[in-house]
Every structure is written in C-alpha cells, then in structure tokens.
Structure 1
Amino acid sequence: MTTTAATHLRTIALHWTDLHDAAGQPAQIGAFGLGLRGYLARIEDAEQLEYNRHQAAHLRTLERDPIQLGDRPVPVRLHILDTMRAVEAVLIECADDIAHAAQRAPISMPAARRADYRSMREARIAYEDRQRAVQLALADERDPKRWRYTGRRTAPHAALWLLARVDRAPGPCRRITEVEEQRIGHVAAGACERVEAALDIAAQRKTLEQRHDCGGRIDVHGGEGRPPLAHCTGCGRIWTEGGVIAA
C-alpha cells in the first residue's frame, strides 16, 4: 500500500505542470477513444454524450476562470480543467482530514508576565528566555512541513504533504494509522488515474455499452501515446483510426 500510494502521489505532483500545459493544447486526434468514436459514429456512447452536455452546461461559468487567462493560441480544453478541479479538491480534502487528526497544534506563544524582577540580571534572563520561547513558537507555526488551511492549497502541495505522511517523514505530525494510510492510498489511486487518463500516459481499456451489429462487445484499447484500437469480441473485427484492418 505504502509504495503504491507514494508512486501515485509522486505521479500527480510531477505531472501537474503537464496538465496546466495540456489545458491549452488542442485535442489529439490519436487520443484514447476520440478517433474511434468518429469512425464508429453509429455507436452511441452514452458517457460521451453526457460529457458533451456537461461541457455545454458549464461553458459560460468557465469563461472567466483564472486558469484561462493569458496568451493561449487555442481554446481551453474543458475536460482537462474538470480533471484538475476534481483532483485538487479531493487531495486538499484528504490533506485537511489527515492534518486535523494527525497534525499537532502549533506551540503556544509564551504568556506575558509582570515586570517585578528583583534585579537587572533576573530581568535580562527572563527576557532572553521569553525571546527563545517566542522564536520557537514562531518557527513551529511557520514550519513548511505543517499543512495549512489557508494560503498554499494546491494539488501538488497536497500530494507532496500526503506523500510525506505515507513515507513517515519528520514533521509536526504523529505517525498515521493504517486506516489513514488506506484513505490516502484510495484517494491517491483515484486522483492518479484521472491525471493519467487526462494526459493519456497510461494504458487504458474500455468496453462500449452498445454492442456491435453481430451482437459482440466492442473493447477499445489505447493510451500511453499509442493510437486507439477497437476489437469486437464476437466476430473478431478490428478497427483503427484508418478503418477496418481485420474482419
């Protein structure tokens, strides 16, 4: 569990910039399923139709999104933005929950005391002690290993903070429990799967809901930069972007 969760969290952190870049790139013709759906236009893909409706419904609300600002030569790819929002939300929520349970509160500032010292030496010692306590409290409160509920709350930062918890790295936290580790692993696996699917960097396989004319199921394979390919489990027909290659 630990190794798998760590791998997923590292993948998310490493590829987050790629998602930002992909958000402004045109859709690739060879991406998983896209070309085949064009060729197999007669096969109604319920998920794709639902996604198209989702895009249309949210287009106007996304027009002013800050991530779309800047010089972009092509329209923003909404499904990439959807992936980024979903992944960031689930990672931050997970980090909030783990921090609430496992992260200790910052060291309190020393309380002020009355200036009723019997000598200058006693006053100086008390002053120096208080200054050390103040510096210790400030350092603990500003510890970069501490998860914060305001400010820097991004997907890669949440992924790296959760990775530190999984790797048992030092910080202002107790050792996470097995249940907490399982929660992180579950969240990391789902988030990583969405990132890899959005970037088409993982092998994918999908069985279409609607059957082929022969009654067989249609399996679509793609990802990892390879052109998608469809195979009918009934008659054995195989499709690629260019058409039928075997029947």
Structure 2
Amino acid sequence: MTTTATNLRSIALHWADLHEAVGAPAQHGAFGLGLRGYLAALDQLDAEQAEYERHQAAHLRSLERSIDQLGERPAPIRLSILDTMHTVEAALVDCADQTAAAVQRSPMGYAPRSWPAADRARRDQLARADALDPRRWRYRGHRTAPYAALWLLGRVQHAGGPFTALSEAQRAHIGTVAAGAAERVERALDIAAQRRTLEQRHDCGGAIDIHGGEGRAPLAHCTGCGRIWTENGTVAA
C-alpha cells in the first residue's frame, strides 16, 4: 500500500519534471489521449486544446498591435500541467499552514527587563535561535510545493523540532492531501499505470475500460463484446 511518506517524497522528487513538462510538447501516447477520436468521454482534452488556442490567439493579437514585440515568440505552455502545479501547490501549502497552526510551538519569549544582564542575554540568544529555527514552517516567503511536501514528511515521520506529535485526525488529513496531490502529479506526467471505466457504455451494453499510463499507448476494451480500440482504431472485435 502506498504510504503518505511515499506520496510526499514522490511530489518533491517529480516537481522539477513538472516544470520541464510545462513547456514540452504533449505526449500523444499518454493515457487517454489517443482515444480522443473514439471515445466521447475524453473530449475534455479538446476543451483544453481550445483554451490553449484561445490564449495563443490573444498573444498573437498583442504582437500585431505592438511592433516592439516582434521577434522570438515564447514557447507554448501546456495549460493542463500548469493547472496541476497550481492546484497541488495550493493544496500542500494550505495543508502545511493548517498543520503548523496546530502542532508548531510558538517561539520562546524574550527575557524580562528585570532579569540580570547575563541571564537576559542568554535567554534572548535562545529566543532568537528558536524563532529562526529552519525547521519551522513559515507563513510567508518560501512556500513551494516541494518544500511543503518535505516539511509535511518531517511531521509524518516524527522529525525533531518545535512541534507536538500529530493526532490521528491530522495524520489522516495529511495522508488524504498527499494522496490526491501525488495522483495528480503522476497523472500529469503519465508515470503511473491507470485504469478507468467510462460512464458511457458501448452499443452492445458492455462497459468500456481504458488502460494506459507509464508511457504506454492507451487502449480501450469493451467488457461486453470484447472489442478493443487503440490510437489507430479498432484492432479486435
């Protein structure tokens, strides 16, 4: 069974891959893409392409209006990957915010002015070090998806620091967020085997299962009549 720790590590590990994939051409052998012409349930991809074309058209119009902008055109981006990154990052940072609010101890207070000078200096030094502890989650500044994933990993694995132990409810919440985020990352990069049963049924009444992922060309299989579709059409019936 995939653990929360494994999911959090996977997100941190593959975040650079998502950055690269944003500007990379779409992989038409990826899960579901090659069946677009045969299965109407996958027409969401056409909507994503239309959205991309709308953005590109707006960009070209802006170039036509300003001669200063002529020259090298920016490479097109894959909006579905960018949306995945925004969604995953928002979910992980929000989860870290909630977790830190519950388990992160407040920094040590500074010494009262009434303390002897030597004692006050030692206490203030400890207070400054506690406030600047790099293990603390910050509510501003460096708040990225991989950093949030690794910080949450530390809490799940009981790493040291100014924290109390997670409750079962907090651990379960992190697990749910991590699983959903990892699944989105893996689906965007097509690095996990996937199987999906469409709501739409075949003419024979059988259910249509789609198999793909892990870089393999997708195929669809009717559980009723046995027909199989690939990117190039029907291969068996």
**Which band: TM-score by shorter chain?**
0.7 to 0.9
- In structure 1, the partner of 2:189 is 199
Deviation at residue 72 of structure 1 after TM alignment: 8.7
Which of 37, 44, 53 matches 2:40? Answer: 44
Cα deviation, residue 46, structure 1: 6.6
Q: Which digits, 9 at most, give the CA deviation of each residue in 1:183-242, with x for residues without a partner? A: 111111111111110010111111222222222221110001111111011110111122
Alignment of 1:1-247 (within 5 A): 4-38=3-37, 40=38, 43-45=39-41, 48=44, 51-52=47-48, 55=51, 59=55, 74-113=75-114, 126-247=116-237
Q: Which amino acid aligns with 2:235?
A: I
**TM-score normalised by the chain length of structure 1:** 0.82
Cα offsets for 1:64-85 (capped at 9, x unmatched): xxxxxxx996311001111111
- The separation in 1 between residues aligned to 2:92 and 2:53, in whole angstroms, is 25
SS in 2 for 1:98: helix
Label 1:89 to 1:47 Cα distance change in 2 as closer, same or farther (>3 A).
Answer: farther
Unaligned ranges ≥5, structure 2: 60-71
TM-score (norm 2): 0.85
Q: Distance in 1 between matches of 2:169 and 2:125?
A: 35
Q: Which has the larger radius of gyration?
A: 1
Q: Cα 1:59–1:111, aligned 2, differ >3 Å: closer, same or farther?
A: farther
After the TM superposition, list the runs of 4 or more consecutive aligned residues in structure 1 that deviate by more than 4 angstroms: 56-60
**Rounded Cα–Cα distance in structure 1 between residues aligned with 2:49 and 2:76:** 18
Q: Secondary structure at the match of 2:164?
A: coil
Partners of 2:100 and 2:43 lie apart in 1 by 36
SS in 2 for 1:86: helix
Q: Matched residues in 2 for 1:135 and 1:33: separation?
A: 59
Could you list the per-position Cα deviations for residues 98-139 of structure 1 after superposition, in whole angstroms to 9, with x for gaps in the alignment?
Answer: 11111110111223349xxxxxxxxxxx43332222221111
Contact map agreement 1:26 1:74 (CA 8 A) in 2? no
- Give the % identical residues: 62
Superposition RMSD in Å: 2.6
Count the aligned residue pairs: 224
Contact 1:109–1:133 under 8 Å retained in 2 = yes
After superposition, the Cα gap between the structure-2 partners of 1:47 and 1:95, relative to the gap in structure 1 and judged at 3 Å, is: farther
List runs of 5+ in structure 1 lacking aligned partners.
64-70, 115-125
